[in-house]
Amino acid sequence: MESRGSGGTTHPLPGSLWALVLAGGKGVRLRPLVREVCGDDRPKQFVPLLGPRTLLGQTLDRVGRVVPAGRTVIVTVEGQARYVAQEGPEPHAPHVLVQPDDRGTAAGILWPAHWIEAHDPSAIVVVCPSDHFVSDDTAFMRHVEAVARFVSDHPEWIVLLGAQPDEPETDYGWIEPSERVGWTSQGPLYQVRRFREKPSPDAARALWAAGCLWNTFVMVARAGALVQAGRESLPSLHDRLTRLRTFMGTEHERWAIGQAYALAPTANFSQAILEGGRAALAVSKIPELTWCDLGTPERVARTMTRLGLSSGVPHPVHPVPG
C-alpha cells in the first residue's frame, strides 16, 4: 500500500494497514439530542450531528484517506447493523462484523483482531472509535501512518494516540507517559507509566500541569499483538474467539459466533488489557489539531459552535424501518 505525503510523492507503507472502526456503542447520554435530530433512539454514531455525514460516515472518510474499504472492518452489535448498511453501497463497502450480544469493548476489539489476523497474519491495525471529532483528517491519518511504521519495526508494541489537553477535563481518560522508547517522523513515543480514568478536578489539574495526555482510545498495533494481549489478560474470552477461526467463511460461521458469545465474559478493554494487562504500551502525541470525544451534549454543542452549526439542529433524518 502507498500513502501520499505532503509533498505529493508516494511512500510505501509497511505491511498491510487495516482499520477497525468501533460502532457498537449505545450513546445513552446523547439520546435527547438524537431524538431531536432523527426522532428515534439510534446510537449517536449513526446520526449526522456535524454535517451531512453521520459520525460513523465521517470516521470512515477519515480512515479511508489511508486504508481502503477492503481492509476496513466495522464492528457493531445485533440491532444496529441496519444503520451500518446505510453508510456505503456495495461493492465498495467495508467488512461488517455483527456481535450477537454486547460483551464489552474487549470482545468488540479482540474478535475483529482475530478475524483480521486470520485473513492477514502480518496486518497492522488502527483501532478507531466512531464518535470522535478531528479537525484535520489528513494530518491525523499521516500521524497514524508514522506510528504504523514504528509498529512494523517493533511488533511487540501497542501504541495509543494521546491528545494534548487544553483544559483539566475530568470526563476523559488520561495517560501518564514515562521514558522515551522510540521515534517516528511525527515525533517521539513514550512508554505508558499509567492510566487515570475520569480523575477528580484536583487530580485532573495535576495531570494537566505534569504534561499528561488525553487518551483518545485510538491505537495502532499488530493484529497479532492484540490477540496475544487478549490471550494473556482474558484467556476465557480468547479461547472462545480462537475457536471461531475454524468456522470463518463457512455456512456455520453465524452459529459459531452465537455459541462463542453465549457464555463469553463481559470485559472492558481499557481495564482488562491496557490497565491490568502485561502488553507493551506506548503513547504518541497527535499533532496540534482539535480532537474531542463527542460523548456529552456539552462537547457536541462546543464542537457545533466551532463549526458554525450552533444555530439549529442539523440534517434531520428519518427513522430506519425494522
Q: Are strands 132-134 and 72-77 parallel, antiparallel or unpaired?
A: unpaired
Residue-level pLDDT at 308: 81
- Locate the domains of the chain by residue range: 13-306
pLDDT bucket at 90, cuts 50 / 70 / 90:
low
**Per-residue confidence at 15, pLDDT binned at 50, 70, 90?**
low
pLDDT at residue 88, rounded to an integer: 67
Highest mean pLDDT among 1-5, 209-213, 316-320: 209-213
pLDDT at 214: 97
Average pLDDT, the chain: 89
pLDDT bracket for residue 9 (50, 70, 90): very low
**DSSP element (H, E) containing 146:** helix 137-153
Q: What percent of the chain has pLDDT over 90?
A: 73
What confidence tens digit (pLDDT) does each residue in 34-65 have? 888 788 889 999 999 888 899 999 999 999 99
Q: How far apart are CA 143 and CA 91, in angstroms?
A: 29
With a cut of 70, say whether residue 171 has pLDDT above it.
yes
pLDDT tens-digit readout, 279-302: 999 999 999 888 999 988 888 888
* Exposure letters 44-76 (e unless 16+ CB within 10 A, then b): bbbbbbbeeebbbbbbbebbbebbeeebbbbbb
Does the pLDDT at position 31 exceed 90? Answer: no
Strands (E), the chain: 2-4, 10-12, 17-22, 72-77, 95-99, 124-129, 132-134, 157-163, 173-184, 187-197, 213-222, 280-285, 291-293
> Which one is predicted more confidently, 197 or 41?
197
pLDDT digits (tens, 9 = 90+) for 230-241: 999 999 999 999
Q: Please provide the DSSP assignment of 43-58 as one string.
A: -GGGS-TTSSS-HHHH
CATH topology of domain 13-306: Spore Coat Polysaccharide Biosynthesis Protein SpsA; Chain A (3.90.550)
Identify the bridge partners of residue 26 per DSSP, sorted by sequence position.
none
- Is the four-CA dihedral 245, 125, 174, 32 of positive or negative sign? negative
Beta strands 95-99 and 157-163 are: unpaired
Q: Report the predicted TM-score, pTM, of the whole model to 2 decimal places.
A: 0.90
At 295 the pLDDT is 85
Omega before 91 within 30 of 0, i.e. cis: yes
